[in-house]
Structure 1
Amino acid sequence: MKRSRMVLALILTYMIFAMLLNSVGAVILQVMQGFGVDKSGAATLEAFKDLPIAIASFLVASTLPRLGYRRAMMLGLLLVAAACAGMPLLQSFWATKLLFVTVGVCFALVKVSVYSSIGLLTGDAKAHAGLTSTVEGWFMVGILGSAWLFAAFINPDAPGDPVWLDVYWVIAGLCLGVVALLASARMDETAALDGHALGRSFLDMLRLLGRPLVAVFLVSAFLYVLMEQAINTWLPTFNREILHLPTTLSVQAAGIFAGSLALGRLGGGFLLRRVRWFPLLGGCVLAMALLVVLALPLAANVQPRADQSWFNAPAAAYVFPLIGLLMAPIYPTINSVVLSALPKARHAAMTGLIVVFSALGGTTGSFITGQLFAHFDGALAFYLLLVPMALLLCSLVLLDRSTRSPDAGLIPVGGGR
């Protein structure tokens, strides 16, 4: 019962942050219409969210075991609840910036705590992979729910009406509810402590970068996030420019990708409790490449139609986003593989590196794909995803070999060279 309560708290905490992190697009639109902010000013909200995530993860990840993962999640939720309450009370752009800075810093605390807690709540690698994939699956459900929640509070007759800010009272209430759940939950965190001084723990995190297992994993994570972010960011543009869908339908159809990721991760959580990770992920990468080769030709020579709708949209609008089903298990599984191979006292530090390299991969993927869209045909931009897919398959082979080696490139809990 205690374990189930803690697992539920992890899932709900992660879902709340999924809703806030992925509300940036809706918030940008609303601050332009409601606060009179121009596009260049509103666009800075992405940086106010992303930079604190990377910086905070790097600086505090190795120290979180001292605070305690459960306390860190409670602290993050309380700070976010306060920032959310400030939105309807202050109704200003600076309050919006403060909200996203707070969300970014607190997500660093939460992601490190959630991933590290999974290691404390599971007994073997398969259980770890299954729970990690399940938690990430509910994160994607949170992303899907975010769009509907924010849309429900927007006045369609007056989009700039500040009534949309009332959504933050709901989110603040959810934060407080999960804090209460965490306060009533219990988890033994003694295995997370390494007994090292603060500076030593930070150096231990940097030493992880020199280990073959960690280096191969970080390459794998970088490549995966590069692909996912490239598709997630530029799929609406692909739908609009290549498939000639109306703008609204282009955005809606891109939601198939997010839904596929959610289903794929929840399904992956089930499968990984029964099969070994490498054959599953290797098959997923090969199937992804096959889907690209089969689906993108369906986008060739599509002609614009005046009556375009869900019922007569090109087949590629439905088929290509299903790549999310195949991609979905990869990210949480490789995270689980490397964390399962490391001592529990290194999980917080390793998760900090995961967050930093994931952020780098996401930024790189979005930038490169954007440049390809700008200078070449959009279909070619997605065809070129076959390159990181091939590299990812190679890195997964190396990751499998690294985890099978006797020492797995690990740093002992009590020290390290």
Structure 2
Amino acid sequence: MSVTLPNTPLYTDHYEYTMLEASLRDGTADRPCVFEVFGRRLPTGRRYGVVAGIERLAEAIQRFRFDEETLSGLVSRGVIKESTADWLADYRFSGDMDAYAEGELYFPGSPILTASGGFGECVLLETLVLSILNHDSAVAGAAARMVTAARGRPILEMGSRRTHEAAAIASSRAAYLAGFAATSNLEAGRRYGVPTSGTSAHAFTLLHSSEQAAFRAQVDTFGTDTTLLVDTYDISQGIRNAIAVAGTGLYAVRIDSGDLDVMATEARELLDELGATDTRIVVSGDLDEYAIAALAAAPADMYGAGTAVVIGSGAPTAQLVYKLVEVEGRPVAKRSEHKVTTGGRKTAVRRHKPTGTAIEEVVVSRGEPEPRPGDKRLQVPLFRSGEPQPLPTLDESRELLRRRLISIPWEGLKLSPGDPAVPVLMRENS
């Protein structure tokens, strides 16, 4: 569904305009440059990263436009001069951009995105690029680990109330990309087609004179194909009340508190005793990948995850940077003691065994890796001369990530800290 969103030229930092204005003044704004997005390291404890937000970024770059009100506001606040406003009046990104496909894995040093164009037009996009990719990749990386830990059991995303309202929508999308089954966020459903799901909270039970009255109201409205929240008072009695009202054909009960392993086991035993052998058990409540993994032996059928998803499960940013690596065909690089950048535009391929298992990622500066059987080139076109290129659907990107997670060595899926699942070999041509 088409959704009208605001323009984005102020989704940025003041210093982008400081650099633009100074470069316009000294004549360097149009120098051909190459910028790259990469991470020097993965978030602590992670063995892979997930590229997410590419489609959102492409759409946001197309909305990076200036109207008269925006330009006059920048001038009146002293951010830019009138001459710079004149330059920005017809701004549109007119360069080339290549990126790892959404749903692709990345590792330290992977050139996730490359922007080529004039210095001025590219530098203005730095904050927009990083704010989208850092957030969405952090959420998708955490969500992918949760999906792995769930071992095929569906996970519902329900973290909207634990983050900013705009971030909630992006988080729902990123979690679905990573393999979550559905979200509670209706705007994510409208905007991106993410399946939505939700029943009721404890407030609905407390509203009624009894738990049975609340359950009856819900079942009368939605039928037995619904999920009843059974932990408002006593869980065992809540399950008995749920089956008494809905019968043994009730779709599911949800437990949102207590020792979930013990509670799920006791709930399964009680449901079976009552004849509700097909009634599913949904567990939720501060679940992250470690808590989900700990529930592997519990008879839970579905999980609900919220806070940990939207904050990247302890890594709220993917720690990506946007750096200038080439000016007029000449490689440039930051060389400070603790932050070294390899200059020059990069080309990246991932190498695989004949079985399809990834063995290494080769990144070459100012050249092409020597081709070998099993190589997969990683960057795909995002913009050409400012024109957006066709992108896969969200479901196609979701399937790509599923395949990529299968392709890495099994050690790379462990939740424990360790080396990146695939080593990155950096090669610099002279």
Sort the TM-score into its range (normalised by shorter chain): under 0.3
* Between structures 1 and 2, the one with greater strand share: 2
TM-score (normalizing by structure 2): 0.25
TM-score (normalizing by structure 1): 0.26
